[in-house]
Amino acid sequence: MGSLGASGASESTDFAMKPAETFPLTDECHHYQGKNEVPWDIQKYFSQRYSIFSLYDEGVYMTDDAWFGVTPEPVANQVANDMYGTEAQKHILIDVFGGAGGNSIAFALSGRWSRIVSIERDASTLACAQHNAEIYGVDPGIITWVYGDSFEYMDKLVNHPEELHPDLRPDLDATVLFASPPWGGPGYRTDEVFDLYNMQPYNLDDLHKAYRRLDHALFLPRTSDIRQIAKLAPGERKIEVVQYCMEGASKALVAYMPGTSTFPREAEAHSNSTTAQKPSANMAKDKKKGGADSKKARKAEKAAKQANKGEKKAKTKQAKIEGSDAEDVDLDEVLEEYRRQQEQFLKVTEAVCESPPKARAASTLMASPHDSNSLLLFGGEYFNGSLAQFYNDLNIYNISRDEWRCVTSPNAPLPRSGHAWTRAGNPNHVYLFGGEFSSPKQGTFHHYNDFWRLEPATREWTKIEVKGKDKSPSARSGHRMTYWKQYIILFGGFQDTSNQTKYLADLWIFDTVNFVWHSPQLPPAQLKPDPRSSFTLLPHDQGAVLYGGYSRVKSTVQVKQKGGKGGQNQAQRNVLIPKVHDDSFFLRMIQPPTDANPSTPPTVRWEKRKKPANAPNPTRAGATMTWHKGRGILFGGVHDVEQSEEGIDSEFFNQLFAWNIERNRFMPLALRKPRQQKKNAPEQRVGRRGRAQANEDELLRQLAALEKGTSLEDADDIELEKKEEVPDEKPVKEMPVTMEPPHVRFNAQMAIQDDVLYIYGGTFEKGDREFTFDDLYAIDLGKLDGCKEIFTRPVEDWIESEDEDDDDDDEEDEDEEDDEEEDEDKSQQLYTASKRKKKQDEAPEVSSEPSETPSETTTEEDDTETATSVDDGLPHPRPFETRREFFVRTTAEWQEILMTNLRWKNIQPESLTIKEIKTKAFELSEEKWWDSREEITALEEEQEAAGIQEVVSLAERGDAGTGGPGARRR
């Protein structure tokens, strides 16, 4: 290290004092995946890896030494948040001990600093820091990495700045230092009060002499002698010392020490943020004058409106009845007519429907959060090639009775499609926002910005009004919503004005307790999702996860145009081309403190994830995904390849995938024939409600066995009090089951209720014709033993527009009818690729040959980057093992894991009853069973192919060591 004058911290070392290039990861850089790989002295820290780096599984690397010095992520984030209040003119931060990048990443993501200089003297550790910053999506232009010694750097910066690279000479008046030095020395771990002058390798005197000229923050051991720190305060000024805790335990302290310039910690937290300008007096006068003029104009307009009101009403009704071709239909008047008709309903009524709802696209389907035996379907549109029809009916599907019920209400949202809804975390409400409505010919569009709450129990709608401009999301459709704790999260979507389409990338959060919308102002340097619609937004216990989506982006193309003398010139034209997104982001959310103002929004941050391993290939739009026990279930989609301006080739899909959110990996789901089950009654899975009741009975038997002190294996012999069974009103019809998934399609609606996936509707295109499916299917995700057809009805005929050539239509229809007949004769494949050609004379035949699946194209890199569920150190299910069998076999381990987790949260296990412990342990085991489902299914298929139908442990059955004739053959 360079000379520090009197301090003499170290001898000078020849380090390059210039910005570092990207360093490659070395053999000293590790991403440990299992505890067995970790050296014994850092196994303690490895068990806390998710507290150190929450994105550890995304590929975070550290050297073995870095494990001892990295700041836990929650602490680093809080320190970055506290340093947000630094004086506004100070916008450069130097992290003098960069390490593996924990603090530098937190500072960069806070958005407070225009530039960060991060110094690290070890090349391998610096390589890890650069790599980890990329994992967290830090803008490369924010952090300047320096491979060198921080003491030498500071000496040159203050005394000889000309010896530094120009990019490493920040304005000292605009600079703040942060130092997290290595901790060590006599008494560091044993003394109740640690003498900072004994700290090694750098003591308090070394640090103070090197940094005292600038405002700086020292990250020190929690037992540091505060009196020694206080003596360093310059003049009359004070030093602020803050203790940082995790889960009630102090982890470290930070001393905020002023240098030659002020370091006011009392400044407003967002003093550097942009504030809205107040209107001037002249502006107010102009507005007042304009208001008077506009008042007169409104009176004249009102008189004209009254004269034309009757004519417009008659025209509106006629357009609804006859489907008028005119595109000058007043949408506001049409919607007003709907509203008047709706007000004729005096109360909420519910009646049994004679048949399923009419076919529709862009509707919303949800598993009822109130009733585990119901599905909710709302809204949607149907376009037959000529006219569009929109719906606002709420339909309830009763699963056990195979019965549809129609709900009418005097206060329901107006007809719409492309809206979004989500259940709330607590209580069981459903929230709906936005959507669109169009004229019958779809020449003009209306986007909604209304917000509704549905009570699933009473079927009552309530419109939530939030007053004030820019206090709620703008009108849109194609957006997505999900929930986290007491908040509703809304992102993206688009606005279509017929002339152009604008895609959105704004984030809104609604507080269901305080009834207020928040629009977080994210730092400009923070990476965030591009504008998009039709993406996936799934809930997560720390926020939400976003994947994929669709948008249209501007592009320049070369076009030919005629020259002045009959020649041709090349010209450029701006066009919008489709873009299918395949990236993924994590929205991390932190609740405000309990004593914060009710209007305080949660802290949010977008974090870009690596591209998921084994993702569906090729990328596809309109692939619907729904959440199920920590994973996303994906189905269908379409892949467009633009050949020319005249036509588009498309492939449609009907594959099923499961996306493990934590491990960021897709696994294909294949249907398989049901295998022979044992006839043991408690283990039978008969029907959706029956399966849920069986799980509940099994758990109650095990709890009763535990309370009696008997073995869990004897739980089946315990008699439970029998409940009076309510007979169904009508017998459930036998539904056909096929081993193939539903026909290829995109934008299908999906919901999961009681581990069963329901697929409703969707769209398919053939030539210029668009078909809306009118069907509902069910797939048991636990068994994957077939696709049950709940109902299906023929697709209605497509009506061609009048301006198309009739002769061409006739020829094309004949060709397409022939293709359809051939398609019906062909047996469906698990993966069916279907092609269409737009605006061409002939449409190609539907291909029934399966193309290369994503699992076949997975690279070795993907395999190594993603850890399997076996590596997490938790009990692992066996092939052919049910949830109940898995829990019985591993119940002691799960109870031990549960009690360890409770103690980590400062909760004494003794405060819970035996039944509560047993219930929570069962929930942990069930989560693990589902997390491993795809891997176990693959093993079961391999063993079934080898003739193995069941795996039994003789030791657990008590048969170990049994001899006698034929023992080897058993």
- pLDDT for position 561: 59
Instruction: Look at residue 3 and tell me whether its pLDDT is greater than 90.
Output: no
Q: How many residues does the chain have?
A: 970
Lowest mean pLDDT among 292-296, 755-759, 946-950: 292-296
User: Which of 234, 257, 280 is the C-terminal boundary of a domain?
Assistant: 257
- pLDDT for position 708: 61
Q: Is residue 707 part of a domain?
A: yes
**Residue labelled with tokens 């039978």:** 684
CA atoms within 13 A on the CB side of 732: 17
Closest CA to 256 of 245, 264, 248: 264
- pLDDT for position 843: 35
CA dihedral 945, 948, 953, 954 (to 10 degrees): -150
**How far apart are the C-alpha atoms of 487 and 887, rounded to whole Å?**
33
- pLDDT for position 807: 46
Compute how many other C-beta atoms are within 10 angstroms of the C-beta atom of residue 752.
18
- pLDDT for position 282: 37
- pLDDT for position 31: 94
Q: Where are the beta strands (DSSP E) in 158-266?
A: 175-179, 216-220, 240-246, 249-257
> 463 by DSSP, 3-state: which?
strand
**How far apart are the C-alpha atoms of 657 and 935, rounded to whole Å?**
13
Question: Is residue 652 a contact partner of residue 762, using CB atoms and an 8 Å limit?
Answer: no
**How far apart are the C-alpha atoms of 133 and 143, rounded to whole Å?**
9
Fill in the amino acid letter for 398. Answer: N
- pLDDT for position 464: 93
Q: Is residue 632 part of a domain?
A: no
Lowest mean pLDDT among 171-175, 302-306, 429-433, 812-816: 812-816
Quick: pLDDT tens for 863-886.
434 445 556 668 888 877 787 787
Q: Is residue 210 part of a domain?
A: yes
Question: Is residue 943 a contact partner of residue 951, using CB atoms and an 8 Å limit?
Answer: yes
Instruction: Look at residue 744 and tell me whether its pLDDT is greater than 60.
Output: yes
739-to-674, 763, 773, 820, 834 alpha-carbon distances in Å: 10, 22, 19, 21, 19
Check residues 639 and 926 and name the one with the higher pLDDT: 639
Question: Is residue 777 a contact partner of residue 790, using CB atoms and an 8 Å limit?
Answer: yes
- pLDDT for position 400: 94
Name the percent of the chain lying above pLDDT 70: 71
Instruction: Look at residue 60 and tell me whether its pLDDT is greater than 50.
Output: yes
Q: Is residue 425 part of a domain?
A: no
**How far apart are the C-alpha atoms of 951 and 880, rounded to whole Å?**
7
Lowest mean pLDDT among 103-112, 274-283, 467-476: 274-283
Confidence of residue 191 (pLDDT cuts 50, 70, 90): confident
Check residues 784 and 34 and name the one with the higher pLDDT: 784
- pLDDT for position 898: 82
**How far apart are the C-alpha atoms of 337 and 343, rounded to whole Å?**
10
Total domains in the fold of the chain: 2
User: Which of 223, 257, 291 is the C-terminal boundary of a domain?
Assistant: 257
**How far apart are the C-alpha atoms of 146 and 117, rounded to whole Å?**
7
Closest CA to 841 of 814, 864, 861, 820: 814
Q: Is residue 900 part of a domain?
A: yes
Closest CA to 735 of 820, 792, 783, 671: 792
Confidence of residue 449 (pLDDT cuts 50, 70, 90): very high
Instruction: Look at residue 565 and tell me whether its pLDDT is greater than 80.
Output: no
Highest mean pLDDT (candidates 210-214, 277-281, 311-315, 709-713): 210-214
Task: Output the DSSP codes for 280-311.
Answer: PHHHHHHHHHHHHHHHHHHHHHHHHHHHHHHH
Instruction: Look at residue 267 and tell me whether its pLDDT is greater than 80.
Output: no
Lowest mean pLDDT among 253-257, 350-354, 778-782, 957-961: 957-961
Fill in the amino acid letter for 33. Answer: Q
Mean pLDDT of 755-770: 91
Q: Is residue 553 part of a domain?
A: no
Query: Which secondary-structure segment (H or E) carries 573?
Result: strand 568-590
**How far apart are the C-alpha atoms of 80 and 62, rounded to whole Å?**
21
**Residue labelled with tokens 């229809």:** 813
Quick: pLDDT tens for 802-853.
444 444 444 444 454 445 444 444 433 334 444 333 333 333 333 333 333 3
**How far apart are the C-alpha atoms of 624 and 537, rounded to whole Å?**
11
What are the structure tokens assigned to 586, written together?
């994590």
Check residues 564 and 771 and name the one with the higher pLDDT: 771
Q: Is residue 874 part of a domain?
A: yes
Closest CA to 246 of 899, 908, 905: 905
> 328 by DSSP, 3-state: which?
coil
- pLDDT for position 352: 94
- Residue 830's contacts (CB-CB under 8 Å, 6 or more residues apart) are 655, 670, 671, 740, 741, 850
53: left (phi over 0), alpha (psi -120 to 50) or beta: beta
Which residue segment(s) compose the domain that 161 sits in?
Answer: 71-257
Check residues 697 and 590 and name the one with the higher pLDDT: 590
- pLDDT for position 570: 67
Highest mean pLDDT (candidates 267-271, 299-303, 663-667, 884-888): 663-667
Mean pLDDT of 890-901: 82
CA atoms within 13 A on the CB side of 463: 12
**How far apart are the C-alpha atoms of 131 and 101, rounded to whole Å?**
9
Mean pLDDT of 345-353: 85
Compute how many other C-beta atoms are within 10 angstroms of the C-beta atom of residue 469.
5
User: Which of 210, 241, 257 is the C-terminal boundary of a domain?
Assistant: 257
**How far apart are the C-alpha atoms of 352 and 403, rounded to whole Å?**
7
**How far apart are the C-alpha atoms of 137 and 945, rounded to whole Å?**
44
Tell me the pLDDT of the chain averaged across its residues. 78
Check residues 873 and 916 and name the one with the higher pLDDT: 916
- pLDDT for position 859: 40
Name the percent of the chain lying above pLDDT 90: 40
Instruction: Look at residue 363 and tell me whether its pLDDT is greater than 70.
Output: yes
Compute how many other C-beta atoms are within 10 angstroms of the C-beta atom of residue 548.
24
Mean pLDDT of 170-192: 84
Q: Note the pTM of the prediction, 2 decimals.
A: 0.54
Alpha-carbon torsion (77, 83, 84, 90), positive or negative: negative
What proportions of the chain, in percent to the nearest 5, are helix, strand and coil?
30, 25, 45
Question: Is residue 479 a contact partner of residue 528, using CB atoms and an 8 Å limit?
Answer: no
**How far apart are the C-alpha atoms of 92 and 961, rounded to whole Å?**
72
Q: At 111, which CATH number?
A: 3.40.50.150
Closest CA to 740 of 707, 779, 786: 786
Check residues 314 and 417 and name the one with the higher pLDDT: 417
Instruction: Look at residue 713 and tell me whether its pLDDT is greater than 50.
Output: yes
Quick: pLDDT tens for 80-117.
988 888 888 899 999 999 999 999 999 999 989 999 99
Q: Is residue 687 part of a domain?
A: no
Task: Output the DSSP codes for 893-927.
Answer: HHHHHHHHHHHHTT--GGGS-HHHHHHHHHHHHHH
What are the structure tokens assigned to 377, written together?
């379907």
Closest CA to 546 of 492, 488, 590, 603: 492
Question: Is residue 782 a contact partner of residue 755, using CB atoms and an 8 Å limit?
Answer: yes
- pLDDT for position 642: 63
Mean pLDDT of 391-415: 94
Instruction: Look at residue 455 and tell me whether its pLDDT is greater than 60.
Output: yes
Lowest mean pLDDT among 209-218, 320-329, 447-456, 777-786: 320-329
Question: Is residue 94 a contact partner of residue 175, using CB atoms and an 8 Å limit?
Answer: yes
Angle at 622 between CA 619 and CA 628, to 5 degrees: 95
Cα end-to-end distance, the chain, whole Å:
72
> 43 by DSSP, 3-state: which?
helix
Backbone angles phi, psi at 372, to 5 degrees: -75, 5
Instruction: Look at residue 277 and tell me whether its pLDDT is greater than 80.
Output: no
Distance of CA 717 to the CA centre of its chain: 44
Compute how many other C-beta atoms are within 10 angstroms of the C-beta atom of residue 705.
19
Check residues 510 and 440 and name the one with the higher pLDDT: 510
Confidence of residue 588 (pLDDT cuts 50, 70, 90): very high
